[in-house]
Amino acid sequence: MKKILLILLIISSFSLNAQESFTADRPGQTVSAYLLPKGAFQIEAGFNYSGSILFDDDDLDRSYSLPHIMLRYGLLDFLELRIENQYQIWDSHFGPTQKGLNDFKFSTKLDLLSKQDVFNLALVSYVTFPQDDSPLSEGKYTFGSAVAANLQVSDGFFAAANLGFYKDGNQIYHAIYSVSATLALSEKWSMFGEFYADTFEPEYANSRTETGINIGVSKMFGDSLQLDTFLGKTPLVDGPSFNLGISWRL
């Protein structure tokens, strides 16, 4: 894994700053259909906290990511390579605190349709590799794929949606979908809101759907740096979540 990260960093040292507008897959769960320009390298990182008080102050489920990091590289005009992971702390009232790396996720984003930034479609596919020495590993290879769509409704107002599936470490298939809207408040500030859902059928149980919502703001600093923050409710725990992140194109 260290060799792969080193290769990506070496590649980035030869890349030129893109002249196209800045885009990021942060904040939120909805993946953008926009690809990085060929030769562009981008780092996206975020700290996340989720917690829920179930019964009293001693019964608290909490999750921290310290942080979640994604490295993105525009390999071709129509293809983007991505690698991501996070160091997570999971504190549950059901047992001892668990902490460690999640499974490494390798993904690609393939351009399906680009219509002058008015409407875009992309296919995002991934596979994860289990970390045998981490208590938070799925323990098995997992994979998934989703179609991402972006629509510029008007100047300063954008809509996005994802529709796809994934197979988890328990060999259960999930259907996922999300919708989001972004409103530009000024040249530097924007706000967004999203709804997302995960539908699956556990073994020996009825089908269930878990949902989440997020709302937040982001600010651009120059042409290649974005800071963002959002609040929401995640299916991970029955309570609020907080996220603070940065996206930087080198």
Q: How far is CA 224 from its chain centroid?
A: 19
Judge residue 230's burial from the number of C-beta atoms within 10 Å of its C-beta, 0-12 exposed, 13-18 middle, 19 or more buried. buried
Question: What pTM, to 2 d.p., does this model score?
Answer: 0.85
Rounded-to-integer distance, Cα 29 and Cα 160, Å: 11
Contact between 219 and 227 (Cβ < 8 Å): yes
Q: What are phi and psi of 10, to 5 degrees?
A: -65, -45
The whole-number pLDDT of residue 92 equals 73
Q: Is the pLDDT of residue 65 over 80?
A: yes
Contacts for 28 with CB less than 8 Å, ≥ 6 apart: 180, 192, 194, 214, 216, 230
pLDDT, one tens digit per residue, over 166-188 is 999 888 999 999 999 999 999 99
Q: What is the mean pLDDT of residues 70-99?
A: 90
The whole-number pLDDT of residue 206 equals 84
Residue 53's pLDDT band, with cuts at 50, 70 and 90, is low
Enumerate the domain spans of the chain: 2-249
Q: Is the pLDDT of residue 192 over 80?
A: yes
Q: What is the mean pLDDT of residues 117-138?
A: 90
Contacts for 7 with CB less than 8 Å, ≥ 6 apart: none
Contacts for 56 with CB less than 8 Å, ≥ 6 apart: none
CATH code, 2-249: 2.40.160.40
Contact between 91 and 75 (Cβ < 8 Å): no
